């Protein structure tokens, strides 16, 4: 897979997320009581214009909920998300609808994202109709253009989703996200349903589209190998919290949080000389309905101390642009 990571970061934040919480009330079986599930718990980070920010963590850590909450596909419990200075969470209906032109989402399963009986042309025209953009003739030529941009042919216009390959379907999903010319695209596991060769093609296409359309990506994935190849910076989530954040190369060269170290130790390396010893974590991820006290990672952490059981570690800068939430970092 080609290394397409960028070397320099731009400095202007396009999105500033502060203290984001998304809690769900979960009914207990056989009881009238409810418990609080803290899917996203006090998460803060910035996205800089033109960068790709990779968000990684095991399944169920809250990263997809975070992406959906930013677009208000589910409402936040608390926090702010300033997009170009405006809080997305307090936008009224019309302004929220208008903001959706600039913020788009790409989901994991392209087959599930497309209506099975709607042609590709109709699926791509729909956002233009919803946002009242162009005449029918202008919409038609815009759809043909976006098909070309994502590497598809005019002949795909009349096809149905099941007549395309997985990679072609994901190109259609990207085209649908881009047809409104957004600034920020939240990609939720966009290549995890594809085989390795197609993954590389789609990642390269995304990188090319990022340059051509001046896009900013929030790239959510569980596969650190994939995230490494596309991200400028990476945030690591565990049980609803952001536990580490750093520029990609720095995170791989010098991870500070024991959870990140364990995740990285599981990434296969092409160079056997540079192999890391695999760190096997004990136990399962605790239930977010009943998270451990103090540092929520302490039951699985090989370095845990008494302090870790009592005191929640605060995310702080431990090296240049490198943040970690660990008492020992």
Name the residues that contact ligand SF4, by CB under 6 A. Answer: 257-258, 295, 297-298, 301, 303-304, 308, 313, 326-328
**H-run or E-run covering 208:** helix 196-213
- Beta sheet of 78-83, edge-to-edge order: 34-48, 13-27, 78-83, 86-87
Question: Which residue lies nearer to ligand SF4 by CB, 15 or 262?
Answer: 262
CA gap 295, 114 in Å, rounded: 41
Q: Is residue 128 within 8 Å of 136, Cβ to Cβ?
A: no
CA gap 43, 66 in Å, rounded: 9
Question: Which residue lies nearer to ligand SF4 by CB, 194 or 234?
Answer: 234
Q: How far is the CB of 319 from ligand SF4 (least distance, A)?
A: 16
Q: How far is the CB of 196 from ligand SF4 (least distance, A)?
A: 32
CA gap 150, 155 in Å, rounded: 14
In which residue are the tokens 């929520």 written? 296
CA gap 142, 261 in Å, rounded: 46
Q: How far is the CB of 317 from ligand SF4 (least distance, A)?
A: 16
Q: How far is the CB of 294 from ligand SF4 (least distance, A)?
A: 7
Question: Which residue lies nearer to ligand SF4 by CB, 217 or 259?
Answer: 259
Question: Which residue lies nearer to ligand SF4 by CB, 182 or 258?
Answer: 258
Question: Which residue lies nearer to ligand SF4 by CB, 37 or 304?
Answer: 304
Strand residue runs (E) in 86-222: 86-87, 103-106, 184-188, 216-221
Q: How far is the CB of 101 from ligand SF4 (least distance, A)?
A: 41
- Residue 79 tokens read as 């926090």
Question: Which residue lies nearer to ligand SF4 by CB, 198 or 318?
Answer: 318
Q: How far is the CB of 271 from ligand SF4 (least distance, A)?
A: 28
């Amino acid at each position: 897979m080609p290394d397409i990571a960028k070397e320099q970061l731009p400095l202007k934040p396009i999105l500033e997320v502060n203290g984001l919480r998304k809690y769900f009330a979960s009914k207990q079986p056989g009881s009238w009581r409810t418990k609080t599930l803290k899917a996203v718990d006090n998460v803060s980070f910035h996205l800089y214009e033109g960068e790709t920010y990779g968000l990684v963590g095991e399944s169920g850590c809250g990263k997809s909920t975070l992406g959906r909450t930013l677009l208000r596909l589910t409402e936040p419990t608390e926090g702010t998300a300033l997009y170009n200075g405006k809080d997305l969470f307090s936008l009224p209906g019309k302004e929220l609808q208008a903001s959706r032109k600039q913020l788009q989402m790409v989901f994991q399963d392209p087959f599930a994202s497309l209506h099975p009986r709607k042609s590709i042309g109709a699926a791509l025209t729909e956002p233009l109709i919803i946002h009242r953009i162009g005449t029918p003739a202008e919409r038609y030529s815009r759809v043909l253009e976006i098909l070309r941009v994502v590497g598809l042919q005019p002949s795909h216009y009349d096809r149905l989703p099941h007549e395309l390959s997985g990679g072609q379907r994901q190109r259609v999903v990207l085209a649908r996200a881009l047809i409104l010319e957004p600034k920020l695209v939240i990609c939720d596991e966009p290549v995890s349903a594809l085989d390795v060769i197609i993954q590389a093609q789609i990642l390269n296409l995304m990188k090319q589209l990022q340059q051509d359309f001046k896009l900013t990506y929030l790239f959510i994935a569980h596969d650190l190998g994939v995230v490494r190849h596309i991200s400028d910076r990476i945030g690591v989530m565990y049980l609803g919290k952001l536990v580490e954040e750093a520029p990609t190369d720095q995170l791989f060269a010098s991870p500070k949080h024991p959870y990140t170290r364990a995740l990285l130790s599981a990434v296969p390396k092409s160079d056997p000389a540079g192999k890391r010893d695999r760190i096997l974590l004990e136990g399962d991820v605790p239930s977010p309905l009943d998270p451990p006290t103090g540092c929520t990672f302490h039951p699985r952490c090989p370095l845990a101390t008494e302090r870790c059981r009592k005191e929640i570690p605060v995310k702080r800068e431990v090296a240049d642009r490198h943040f970690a939430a660990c008492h020992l970092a």
